[in-house]
Chain A
Amino acid sequence: MSNNTSNRGFNRRSFLKVATAASVASVIGLPSLGMERVLAARRAKDSYKMIFIEVQPDAVAGSWSQGIAEVLKTQQIIDYQLLDGQSKVDVQISLMDTAITQGVDAIFLQPTDSVAVGPSIQKAKDAGIPVITLNIDSTEAHASHVEMNHYFGAIDIADALGKAMGGKGNVVILNAPPGIIIRDQRTNGFKKGLEKYPDIKIIADQSAEWDRKKAADVLSALLVANKDITGVYGVNDEMALGAVDVLKSKGLLGKVMVFGNDGEKAALESIEAGELTGTQYTDVFQQGRFAGSVATVLATGGVNPTAFQQQSHLLMPYFILTKDNVGQIQPNQRWG
């Protein structure tokens, strides 16, 4: 595409020559001349534009955006815009296209799918735009990936839950609907973590669609069939809180251990109130700030997004919070 402007007057043979040269150049990773111009222009700019394409509006994405905006605002030269992907991968692809056309200087992306956004990321790279993904990585290498630690976090949750249950009993997972990588990473990590406790059995793994009310309904139904549930893992905090709602109404609080995931404000309050047993906490504001910082450096420095041999991974530190340590999380670290 970038070569299209200069093909007038070319005969077929010279076109082939140029094409071969271009492909050789791209294989050995030499930045093309066009790219160099783009990057030089970016370094010389005095105002920048960045876009965050979220999957859908929710507590996590909102808090990221807040963290990103916090950092970008201090630069005073960066215009920032949040776009809703409406949970649809084709909408995200279209928004990526629009952002590239606008010539933004960096794109934050929470992909709906690792593979499907690949070509869009490729297009952004061709246009010299760094892409920073949040939580869900893409199969297409890009500037940077900033994520909560889903897999190892879930292992630690399983460990904490196993301890709280005294090493034995029956557990149910209130899960996300299939099709999202986070779901798989968290579920697999959780199962891995429980391997340490051979006397704990997972007796149900059902989708509650990320939703508090839905989770309450699912757990109510499960409790009717299985009286001896002693542990619940909600794959996000909302679903864990839904479980707490049910247990509270049935007077089972304290008898059934419930862990969530993410660590949003409501979950921390529930832990402090002695209802939710625990959760994995990540400072999502901080995650947003990291992403914002990375983008600022890459964009204002005019860094070629394809320059790195290896894509950078920023893994956020996390804590397993229970009643014992929840107080350590300061009010300004509480998000959601």
Chain B
Amino acid sequence: MLKFKSLRKTSANFGLIWFYLVVFIVFSLVAPIFRTTQNLTNILSAYSHIGIVAVGMTFPLLLGGIDLSVGSIMGLVAMVVFDATLLFHLPGWVGILAGLLTGILAGLFNAFLIVRVKIQPFIATLATLTAYRGLTYAISGRQINPDLTVVAIKDPLLLSIDGRFGQIPFAFVYLIVIVIVTMIFLRLTRFGINMYSVGGNLLASRLAGINVDRVKVLGYALSGFFTAIATLVLMSRMRSTQEGLGQGLELSAIAAAVIGGVSLNGGIGNTFGAALGAFLIGTLSTGLILIGVTGYAPQVVIGVILIIAVSYDRFTVARRKRRWLELQHNDSALIGSGASRT
């Protein structure tokens, strides 16, 4: 019972799960096709990679920062894999390793700008958003050899990254594993707790002897790493890439994380929420199409949900403050009467 209560106190996840269930049930009732296995498989397959990026995004956000470069990291990682396999005809495992390494290095470079050069995360990753995209164009095998635009990757290892266990897409399985591992990391390891500390109260963390810089470096590296994993999943499905791959991904990932209860002020939230947030967006987008809402309405709906998610956060904080203030006021009235009697 105590455990249950504290879980409720710590996470906005409860509210989100309820909201998700409501959305799910409503769509199931309105659009029978929504609750078919095939549709659910579609949603899992279409939003798992965004969920994975949102999990990565959770770390910079927890630190009170942001990573705007994830979309460009995706483009860059994909182009590295593309070049390795199609341009240089290297085996798939080399491409995979090179891709993962690229993601980590891109994250580490972000961390370098933020921690060493001391640029604000927003500005630093805005700069690398442009820089990584430019680099993607520069190394594009599609430009070097235009014929490659119509060639699909055939490497069996790369192609086997995406697939299905029955109706469950691999991508979703990866996401589940990643969420479990990151949740364990965040809740049960010192480094994880330090993420919350640094984002929640930087000064206190420093005074407590936490190596704040190291925690930040890890956070941005993880963001790059998980983006690379998501890229591999997506590439395996597409069997190719484009220079523009991942454009706008940062916004989807941030939206998913924030809807999932990760605070933009840092220190609050978890990866489970971020992943759930991605599926909430996915369920809404798909559901609205299935009930016949077309055009740009789904995007408007997601914007509204985002506003609700953020203001809910503020609302709870304000309510708590007001309650304490009232408590204090009632008591100080007592002090006043006591004082005048003396």
Answer yes or no: do A and B interact.
Answer: yes
Q: Which residues of A contact B245 (CB under 8 A)?
A: 89
Among B34-42, B185-193, B257-265, the one that faces the other chain is B34-42
A198 lies within 8 A of chain B by Cβ: no
Q: Which residues of A contact B47 (CB under 8 A)?
A: 94
Q: Are B286 and A98 in contact (CB under 8 A)?
A: yes
Q: Which residues of B contact A102 (CB under 8 A)?
A: 33, 290
Q: Are B149 and A115 in contact (CB under 8 A)?
A: yes
Complex Cα spacing A139 to B86, Å? 16
Q: Are B150 and A87 in contact (CB under 8 A)?
A: no
Beta-carbon contacts under 8 Å, A168-188 to B: 177-181, 184, 188
Q: List 24 A-B contacts (CB under 8 A).
A: A82-B295, A83-B294, A90-B49, A90-B234, A94-B42, A94-B45, A94-B286, A98-B290, A101-B36, A101-B42, A102-B33, A113-B238, A115-B149, A116-B240, A116-B242, A119-B239, A177-B243, A177-B244, A178-B137, A178-B140, A179-B137, A179-B242, A179-B244, A180-B242
Q: Which residues of B contact A86 (CB under 8 A)?
A: 248
Q: Are B149 and A93 in contact (CB under 8 A)?
A: no
Complex Cα spacing A87 to B245, Å? 9
A81 lies within 8 A of chain B by Cβ: yes
Complex Cα spacing A271 to B196, Å? 62
Q: How far is the CB of B294 from chain A (nearest CB, A)?
A: 5
> Which of B149, B292, B295 has a CB less than 8 Å from the CB of A84?
B295
B151 lies within 8 A of chain A by Cβ: yes
Complex Cα spacing A297 to B61, Å? 53
A114 lies within 8 A of chain B by Cβ: yes
Q: Which residues of A contact B243 (CB under 8 A)?
A: 177-179
- Considering only CB atoms, which chain A residue lies closest to B140 in the complex? A178
Q: Are B152 and A81 in contact (CB under 8 A)?
A: no
Complex Cα spacing A86 to B239, Å? 20
Residues of A within 8 A of B (CB): 4, 81-84, 86-90, 93-95, 97-98, 100-103, 112-116, 118-119, 139, 177-181, 184, 188
Q: Are A84 and B296 in contact (CB under 8 A)?
A: yes
Q: Which residues of A contact B152 (CB under 8 A)?
A: 115, 118, 139
| Contacts A90-B49, A94-B42, A101-B42 given; does A114 touch B150 at CB 8 Å | yes
Supply 6 further A-B pairs (C-beta < 8 A) apart from A4-B166, A81-B292, A93-B237. Answer: A88-B247, A115-B151, A177-B137, A178-B140, A179-B243, A181-B150
Q: Which residues of A contact B166 (CB under 8 A)?
A: 4
Q: Which residues of A contact B294 (CB under 8 A)?
A: 81-83
Q: Are B238 and A115 in contact (CB under 8 A)?
A: yes
Complex Cα spacing A80 to B149, Å? 31
Complex Cα spacing A335 to B47, Å? 36
> Which of A4, A82, A95, A118 has a CB less than 8 Å from the CB of B239?
A118
- Considering only CB atoms, which chain A residue lies closest to B31 in the complex? A102
Complex Cα spacing A151 to B43, Å? 38
Q: Which residues of B contact A113 (CB under 8 A)?
A: 238, 240, 242
Beta-carbon contacts under 8 Å, B254-295 to A: 282, 286, 289-290, 292, 294-295
Query: Which of A84, A113, A177 has the largest count of B CB atoms less than 10 A from its CB?
Result: A113
Q: Which residues of B contact A184 (CB under 8 A)?
A: 146, 149
Complex Cα spacing A329 to B238, Å? 41
B143 lies within 8 A of chain A by Cβ: yes
- Considering only CB atoms, which chain B residue lies closest to A188 in the complex? B146
- Considering only CB atoms, which chain B residue lies closest to A115 in the complex? B240
- Considering only CB atoms, which chain A residue lies closest to B38 in the complex? A101
| Contacts A102-B290, A119-B239 given; does A181 touch B247 at CB 8 Å | no
Q: Which residues of B contact A94 (CB under 8 A)?
A: 42, 45-47, 282, 286
Complex Cα spacing A318 to B232, Å? 41
- Considering only CB atoms, which chain A residue lies closest to B293 in the complex? A81
B142 lies within 8 A of chain A by Cβ: yes
> Which of A83, A118, A139 has a CB less than 8 Å from the CB of B289?
A83
Q: Which residues of A contact B292 (CB under 8 A)?
A: 81
| Contacts A115-B150, A115-B152 given; does A98 touch B242 at CB 8 Å | no
Complex Cα spacing A65 to B271, Å? 41
- Considering only CB atoms, which chain A residue lies closest to B167 in the complex? A4
| Contacts A90-B234, A94-B46 given; does A179 touch B247 at CB 8 Å | no
In the A-B complex, the 4 residue pairs with the smallest Cβ-Cβ separation, listed nearest first, are A94-B46, A115-B240, A116-B238, A179-B243
| Contacts A84-B295, A87-B247, A88-B247 given; does A114 touch B149 at CB 8 Å | yes
Q: Which residues of B contact A118 (CB under 8 A)?
A: 152, 239
Q: Which residues of A contact B39 (CB under 8 A)?
A: 98, 101
Complex Cα spacing A123 to B211, Å? 51
Query: Which of B33, B47, B49, B289 has the largest count of A CB atoms less than 10 A from its CB?
Result: B289
Q: How far is the CB of A95 from chain B (nearest CB, A)?
A: 8
Q: Which residues of A contact B248 (CB under 8 A)?
A: 86-88
- Considering only CB atoms, which chain B residue lies closest to A102 in the complex? B33
- Considering only CB atoms, which chain A residue lies closest to B136 in the complex? A179
Complex Cα spacing A170 to B106, Å? 40
Q: Which residues of B contact A177 (CB under 8 A)?
A: 137, 243-244
| Contacts A113-B238, A179-B242 given; does A93 touch B46 at CB 8 Å | yes
Complex Cα spacing A184 to B147, Å? 10
Complex Cα spacing A119 to B159, Å? 11
- Considering only CB atoms, which chain B residue lies closest to A114 in the complex? B150
- Considering only CB atoms, which chain B residue lies closest to A116 in the complex? B238
